[in-house]
Amino acid sequence: MCSSRWIDHVKNTKEQYGVQEITADELQAALQEKDTAPVLIDVRETDEWKTGKLPTAVGLPRGILELKVENVVSPDSQRPIVLYCAGGLRSIMTAASLIGMGYNKENIKSLTGGFGSWAKKGYTVVKD
């Protein structure tokens, strides 16, 4: 269960940085567009990946994402980036961090409801 302070902090961060969200249905449609498909970044901890990941997702846990994200996508890239975690809160915080690092906030989205919403919809989940 999430504390109310954490939820309030996430809400305030989302508003302050203008973090956009994308639903599982919208993401599924976006992934079908081969030329404009977003870069997917899974910010969950490695032990959470046991339940699977979204297809094509790169695993960069939130604790190291800022150190390694430029190896995956440059701040100058115009490709859309979709971040996700288990429930959609940590990915909002990560989106704010990327915006603070100079990534274009128009290209960054957080998956509403995270991995849980994706899996609940029955969309493809891959396991290593």
**Residues designated catalytic:** 85
124 Rama class: left (phi>0) / alpha (psi -120 to 50) / beta? beta
Q: Which residues pair with 46 in a beta bridge?
A: none
If DSSP codes are grouped into helix, strand and coil, which group holds residue 119? helix
Alpha-carbon distance of 123 to 23, in angstroms, equals 12
